[in-house]
Amino acid sequence: MSYEYIGITVLWFFLYGYLIVASVDFGAGFFAYYARLTKKDHIINKLISRYLSPVWEVTNVFFVFFFVGLVGFFPDTAYYLGQSLLVPGSIAIVLLAIRGSFYAFESYGSKDNSVYMFLYGATGLLIPASLATAMTISEGGFIEETASGVHLMIGKLISSPYSWSVVLLAIVSVLYISSMFLTYYAHRADDRPALEIVRKYALFWSSPTIIASLTTFIALSQHNPVHYQKAIGLWWMFGISVAFFMIGLFLVYQGKYYGWAFIAVMFQFFFAFFGYGASHLPYILQPFVTITSGATNETMGVTLIIAFIAGLFLLIPSLVMLMRMFLFDADYVKGKK
């Protein structure tokens, strides 16, 4: 495998990692606010903040890692995406900034501030929507290169059914992943009242998730038939994804093996996400950047991969330590530590 393919695979793994951990975070913010509105916050909010407090910064790094890596492995994307995404990118930064800092303000500083809670909940849905725009744009047809530079055709983006279906899919998936995780976490914490609530959320958000996946597929076939054909060629990946969806949903419905249910959710999104990514190749940004045309020079590519492997030796043990301390330590989860 040449270094470009290793590079894109690494990056895709990190984006996938971000998708999972950030969804838990984004969805939790929304649920926390929703629980406040429905006066159930005393039941679930303690649970949510016990999980989120030690890890919110780590979540953020997954994202930074992805975009720094993307520019590192494929500097051409910086040129095209940078030129065209100034406005949506800046809005996403502002939302992320408000969310991250206000989370810290509220959890370490002033408790129970409704304005912070609202901003935290609202940004939890707006951020996935704005980040999904970058994904939409990579399909091609939304940016043009003229003599004066590269421009985003905002009118086309707003009127496209494909871009709206991606936004919808992003939002409902966030809520689904998050509620499935919280169900598992509540179960570990032995917190029955919380479990009852978040389990209902999980069951509720399962059907919009699968429906939005299908509509996105249909919209893609209209917007980019070539990509759609390649995706059909990888039908088995999406088939496995649906099978894991059924398993996860079945287990939660049965009310047992919540841990396995969440693992099934992770596999569901893993196969869908990698199926989408693989069928997207060789383009990174249609039609301007392909995986070979946009790649960095070989020396840098190889050096980055070596740096990445060395970094993993540092990261994986540290992440395992963090998870053992806060995710799999039963006493911590139950609030005894």
Partner 1 sequence: MFFEDSVLMSRLLTFLTLGFHIIFATVGVGIPIMISMAEFIGIKKKDPHYTLLARRWTRGFTITVAVGVVTGTAIGLQLSLLWPSFMQVAGNIISLPLFLEVFAFFFEAIFLGAYLYTWDRFKNPIFHWLLSIPIVIGSTLSAFFITTVNAFMNSPQGFEIDEGKLTAVEPFAAMFNPATPSKVFHVITSSYLTSAAILATIAAVIILMKKGTTYHRKALKMTVTATFVFALATAIAGDSSAKYLAEYQPDKLAAGEWHFETEEGADLVVFGTLNENNEVKNEIRIPGALSFLAYGDFNAEVEGLYETPEDERPPLWIHYMFDLMVSIGFYLVGISMLFLIFWKVKKWNEYNKWLLTGLAVIGPLAMLAIEFGWIYAEVGRQPWIIRGFMTVAEGATTSPHVGLMFLLFLGLYTVLGIGCIVVLRKIFKNNPAELELEGRYPNVKESDKE
Residue closer to partner 1 by CB (options 69, 248) is 69
- Candidate ranges 32-40, 70-78, 240-248, 279-287; the one touching partner 1 (CB under 8 A): 70-78
d(C-alpha 25, C-alpha 107), whole Å: 14
73 or 164: CB nearest partner 1: 73
State the minimum distance, in angstroms, from the CB of residue 59 to partner 1: 9
Instruction: Provide the Cα torsion 275, 280, 281, 286; round to 10°.
Output: -170
Task: Say whether residue 73 binds partner 1 (CB under 8 A).
Answer: yes
Q: Which residues in the 273-332 window bind partner 1 by CB under 8 A?
A: 296-297, 299-300, 303-304, 307-308, 311, 314-315, 318-319, 321-322, 325-326, 332
* Shortest CB 36 distance to partner 1, Å: 20
Contact 60, 67 (CB under 8 A): no
Q: How far is the CB of 326 from partner 1 (least distance, A)?
A: 7
Q: How many CB atoms lie within 10 A of CB 274?
A: 17
Q: Is the dihedral of CA 222, 71, 80, 156 positive or negative?
A: positive
Closest residue by Cα to residue 193 from 51, 53, 326, 41: 41
Select the span of 144-152, 170-178, 253-261, 278-286 touching partner 1 (CB under 8 A). 144-152
For partner 1, the closer CB: 38 or 147: 147
Question: Rule CB under 8 A: which residues touch partner 1?
Answer: 53-55, 57-58, 60-61, 63-65, 67-69, 71-73, 75-76, 78-83, 85-87, 89-94, 96-98, 100-105, 108-110, 148-151, 296-297, 299-300, 303-304, 307-308, 311, 314-315, 318-319, 321-322, 325-326, 332, 337
